[in-house]
């Protein structure tokens, strides 16, 4: 299912060049927007999960909600190497910047490094076989990135041996036992809560969060502006369409069909792409758990089925449950899923760079739903199931 290497490289460089055309510009002075004579806020347009202030000689970064329903958050003082550490409250953690080595634990963090030209700073990652980034894959082949086991079974001893200047990770609850162990070894740990963002552009704007640790705010702002402008351009085309094809998504696991909520990341993509997502009015976080019968009653005549989890062919879907074949979308072959960029070892780039490049995801969806409106676009993450 993976595209050949030449095509993937060409595609990636097309993305990079498109960003340059939008005006990333010279980043040699990427930290020049940091002031030392007044306090000011980092400019954020969509992201609501973090803030950053420039105070004297340091940056104060706050992640108020590191996981869903968290009652408290974290603050980080980013202090340049060689500068005196200011007097800070006891709950503020200090990180020396710009960092030169980093360990990440989510594939969604990796495109942030790629887009900031900082992939060479990655020295460790759990289960490296699932990484899609070709730049980082090459670093793995060159033995410059250490495999740290799995996320659930992180090899802490190996991580401590690396002594990275920063570990960027995420949590789903308030169990910080492992993170405390790492911090007690003088390795700063920073929590990235991008997955809690409510919009595709809000999540993509976390490139500005990563940039703070590399003194590359100007580059992050240019990259994000290009992504935002492209997203809004496609959304404008979608808003102007008179037809809204009906769409459903998901598959059955166990006894439940897991359908994206209208308020979810996927649900908002469907809306912005000009779809009539049949569950657009639901407001739950994440996914809905529905019965097969209720989905069929609503979606049996829907125009498109987009997003079939791990199913990569119509025959696989039919073999799993013959009831799927009764849907109009199955009969007419209008079934698409995000499997166009899957590595031989099982990494899926949709779950890596898809979060950092929502404009490419939206372009795919708009192309699927309204192919005549975006004739120049070739599907990047999605493919049609045969």
- CATH number, position 202: 3.40.50.1980
- pLDDT value at residue 285: 80
Q: Are residues 190 and 322 in the same domain?
A: no
- Helix 358-369 to helix 217-239 angle (10° resolution) is 10
User: Residues in the chain, how many?
Assistant: 386
Token readout for 297 is: 């009653």
- pLDDT value at residue 367: 98
* pLDDT mean across residues, the chain: 91
Beta bridge partners of 124: 103, 146
Token readout for 135 is: 């730049």
Give me the sheet containing 252-253, strands edge to edge. 252-253, 256-260, 287-290
**Residue 271, CA atoms < 13 Å, CB-side half-sphere:** 15
Dist CA 272 CA 266 (whole Å): 10
Residue 296: domain span:
241-384
Q: Are residues 254 and 162 in the same domain?
A: no
pTM score of the predicted model: 0.88
Tell me: the pLDDT tens digits for 312-323?
Answer: 999 999 999 999
Q: Among 173, 204, 228, where does a domain finish?
A: 228
Q: Are residues 254 and 205 in the same domain?
A: no
- pLDDT value at residue 175: 94
With a CB cutoff of 8 Å and minimum separation 6, the contacts of 37 are none
Tell me: the pLDDT tens digits for 41-91?
Answer: 999 999 999 999 999 999 999 999 999 999 999 999 999 999 999 999 999
Helix (H, G, I), strand (E, B) or coil at 60: strand
Tell me: the pLDDT tens digits for 184-231?
Answer: 999 999 999 999 998 999 999 999 999 999 999 999 999 999 999 999
Dist CA 327 CA 39 (whole Å): 58
Instruction: List Cα–Cα distances, 294 to 16, 258, 291, 333, 352, in angstroms.
Output: 43, 12, 5, 22, 32
Dist CA 217 CA 233 (whole Å): 24
Q: Are residues 174 and 26 in the same domain?
A: yes
If you average pLDDT over residues 19-29, what whole number do you get? 35
Dist CA 139 CA 147 (whole Å): 12
Q: Are residues 341 and 254 in the same domain?
A: yes
Dist CA 93 CA 307 (whole Å): 41
- pLDDT value at residue 27: 36
pLDDT at 113 over 60: yes
Q: Are residues 203 and 255 in the same domain?
A: no
- pLDDT value at residue 20: 33
**57 contacts 36 by C-beta, under 8 angstroms:** yes
Q: Are residues 38 and 164 in the same domain?
A: yes
pLDDT at 18 over 70: no
How many domains would you assign to the chain?
2
Residue 276 has φ and ψ, to the nearest 5°, of -95, 85
With a CB cutoff of 8 Å and minimum separation 6, the contacts of 155 are 126, 148, 149
Q: Are residues 145 and 212 in the same domain?
A: yes
Share of the chain above pLDDT 70, in %: 90
If pLDDT is split at 50, 70 and 90, which confidence band does 150 have?
confident
Place of tokens 């492209």: 230
**123 contacts 167 by C-beta, under 8 angstroms:** no
Token readout for 194 is: 């991008």
Q: Among 193, 228, 263, where does a domain finish?
A: 228
Tell me: the pLDDT tens digits for 264-292?
Answer: 889 999 999 999 999 999 998 889 999 99
């Amino acid at each position: 299912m993976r595209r050949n290497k030449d095509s993937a490289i060409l595609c990636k460089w097309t993305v990079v060049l498109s960003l340059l055309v939008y005006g990333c510009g010279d980043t040699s002075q990427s930290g020049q927007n940091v002031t030392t004579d007044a306090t000011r806020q980092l400019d954020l347009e969509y992201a609501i999960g973090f803030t950053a202030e420039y105070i004297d000689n340091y940056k104060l970064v706050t992640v108020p909600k590191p996981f869903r329903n968290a009652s408290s958050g974290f603050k980080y003082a980013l202090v340049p190497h060689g500068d005196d550490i200011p007097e800070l409250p006891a709950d503020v953690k200090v990180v020396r910047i710009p960092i030169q080595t980093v360990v990440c634990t989510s594939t969604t963090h990796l495109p942030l490094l790629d887009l900031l030209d900082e992939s060479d700073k990655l020295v460790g990652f759990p289960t490296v076989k699932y990484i899609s980034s070709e730049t980082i894959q090459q670093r793995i082949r060159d033995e410059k990135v250490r495999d740290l086991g799995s996320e659930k079974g992180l090899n802490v001893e190996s991580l401590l041996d690396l002594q990275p200047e920063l570990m960027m990770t995420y949590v789903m609850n308030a169990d910080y036992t492992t993170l405390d162990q790492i911090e007690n070894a003088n390795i700063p740990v920073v929590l990235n809560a991008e997955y809690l963002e409510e919009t595709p552009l809000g999540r993509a704007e976390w490139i500005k969060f990563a940039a703070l640790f590399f003194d590359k705010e100007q580059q992050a702002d240019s990259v994000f502006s290009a992504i935002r402008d492209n997203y809004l351009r496609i959304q404008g085309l979608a808003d102007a369409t008179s037809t809204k094809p009906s769409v459903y998504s998901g598959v059955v696991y166990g006894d439940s069909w897991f359908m994206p909520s209208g308020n979810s990341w996927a649900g908002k993509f469907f809306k912005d792409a000009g779809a009539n997502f049949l569950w657009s009015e639901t407001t739950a976080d994440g996914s809905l758990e529905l019965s097969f019968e209720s989905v069929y009653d609503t979606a049996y005549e829907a125009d498109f089925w987009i997003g079939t989890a791990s199913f990569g062919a119509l025959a696989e879907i039919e073999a799993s449950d013959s009831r799927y074949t009764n849907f109009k979308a199955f009969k007419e072959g209008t079934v698409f899923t995000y499997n166009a960029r899957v590595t031989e070892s099982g990494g899926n780039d949709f779950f890596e760079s898809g979060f950092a490049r929502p404009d490419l995801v939206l372009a795919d969806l708009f192309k699927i739903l309204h192919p005549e409106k975006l004739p120049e676009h070739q599907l990047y993450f999605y493919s049609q199931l045969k």
